[in-house]
């Protein structure tokens, strides 16, 4: 009796877990599938009701139409310059700031850190106008500088990295001091390797956030020479009248493909970032 009900509950538990997993999978996967599916439909198929969940003859030419409609490669280049420009800038601003906040006591340190956190709470809609005016006064609108400089640092990343640095036991740093390590050695040989998973994760978040960013590049640029892919892709929406979802989605596939690839390569590191401290 008992063992039978035991088997029942165990099977039931497994089934439940499977169902939940499938649900989670669906929530994440279906939008991607839908995007890809729409990208290879033709106009008629995108408008049909009820929608088809499979197309037997994919319209690959939709991707070609994207290249015809917008200067895809120059926009891709702009996207790359912006995203990597931001990542490089953040590397040089975030790490020293986080390290200083975590390890040094200096006058006004706590106040400055509070200020840094406070900037996370200001909505973008509040600052875009003054920011735009500031950039236009300096003649920086429509330049790479206008795409990169607003994001040259990140209070979120400073906060996260500071927490990571703070978690490093004081004993470790003292051991390094007794081992004759200079402050620079401690940073490069000890702290940064320990914080590597966090840094990689932050880099990835920065990449994805900025790669897909629409609002700021749209506000701060007015011509295609410096416009980025998300702005370009959105403009596909209105290519010679009428909403062309299939072309739009083809553009979106091209846009997210790099981000997806990066994520697939780095997901191990990300998981590590969130489990490192537990498994010391």
Q: Could you list the residues that contact other proteins (CB under 8 A)?
A: 169, 171-172, 174-182, 185, 189-190, 193-194, 196, 279-280
Q: Which residues of 164-195 are buried (b: 16+ CB within 10 A; e: fewer)?
A: bbeebeeeebeebeeeebeeeebbeebbeebb
What angle is formed at CA 86 by the lines to CA 204 and CA 63, rounded to 5 degrees?
70
Between 178 and 264, whose beta carbon lies closer to other proteins? 178
What is the rounded CA–CA span in Å between residue 90 and residue 86? 6
Q: How far apart are CA 82 and CA 141, in angstroms?
A: 14
- Find the DSSP H helices in 138-190: 144-148, 155-167, 170-178, 183-185
Is the Cβ–Cβ distance between 221 and 231 less than 8 Å? yes
CB nearer to other proteins: give 49 or 178.
178
* Residue (91 or 276) nearer to other proteins, CB: 276
Minimal distance, residue 171 CB to other proteins, in Å = 4
Minimum gap (Å) between residue 212 Cβ and other proteins: 32
Q: How near is the Cβ of 177 to other proteins at its closest, in Å?
A: 5
Nearer to other proteins, 171 or 240 (CB): 171
Comparing CB distances to other proteins, the nearer of 1 and 107 is 107
209-213 long-range contacts (CB < 8 A, ≥24 apart) are: 210/82, 210/83, 210/86, 210/87, 210/151, 211/79, 211/83, 211/255, 211/258, 211/259, 212/255, 212/256, 212/259
Is the distance from CB of 186 to CB of 199 less than 8 angstroms? no
How far apart are CB 26 and other proteins at their closest, in Å? 37
Nearest distance, CB of residue 200 and other proteins, angstroms: 14
Q: Which is nearer to other proteins, 241 or 279 (CB)?
A: 279
Q: Nearest distance from residue 92's CB to other proteins, in Å? A: 22
């Amino acid at each position: 009796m008992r063992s039978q009900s035991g088997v029942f509950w165990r099977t039931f538990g497994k089934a439940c877990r499977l169902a939940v997993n499938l649900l989670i999978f669906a929530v994440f996967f279906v939008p991607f599938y839908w995007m890809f599916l729409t990208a290879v439909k033709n106009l008629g198929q995108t408008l049909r009701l009820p929608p088809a969940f499979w197309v037997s003859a994919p319209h690959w030419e939709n991707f070609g139409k994207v290249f015809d409609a917008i200067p895809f490669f120059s926009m891709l280049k702009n996207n790359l310059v912006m995203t990597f420009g931001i990542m490089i800038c953040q590397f040089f601003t975030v790490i020293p700031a986080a390290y200083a906040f975590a390890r040094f006591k200096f006058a006004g340190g706590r106040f400055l850190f509070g200020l840094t956190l406070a900037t996370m709470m200001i909505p973008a809609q509040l600052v875009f106008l003054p920011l735009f005016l500031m950039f236009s006064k300096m003649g920086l609108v429509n330049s790479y500088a206008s795409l990169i400089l607003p994001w040259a640092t990140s209070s979120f990343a400073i906060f996260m990295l500071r927490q990571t640095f703070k978690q490093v036991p004081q004993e470790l740093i003292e051991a390094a001091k007794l081992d004759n390590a200079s402050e620079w050695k401690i940073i490069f040989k000890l702290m940064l390797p320990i914080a590597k998973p966090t840094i990689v994760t932050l880099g990835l978040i920065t990449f994805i956030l900025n790669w897909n960013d629409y609002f700021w590049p749209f506000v701060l640029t007015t011509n295609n020479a410096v416009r980025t892919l998300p702005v370009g892709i959105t403009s596909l929406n209105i290519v010679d009248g009428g909403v062309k979802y299939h072309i739009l989605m083809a553009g979106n596939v091209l846009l997210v493909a790099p981000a997806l690839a990066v994520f697939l390569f780095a997901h191990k590191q990300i998981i590590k970032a969130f489990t490192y401290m537990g498994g010391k």
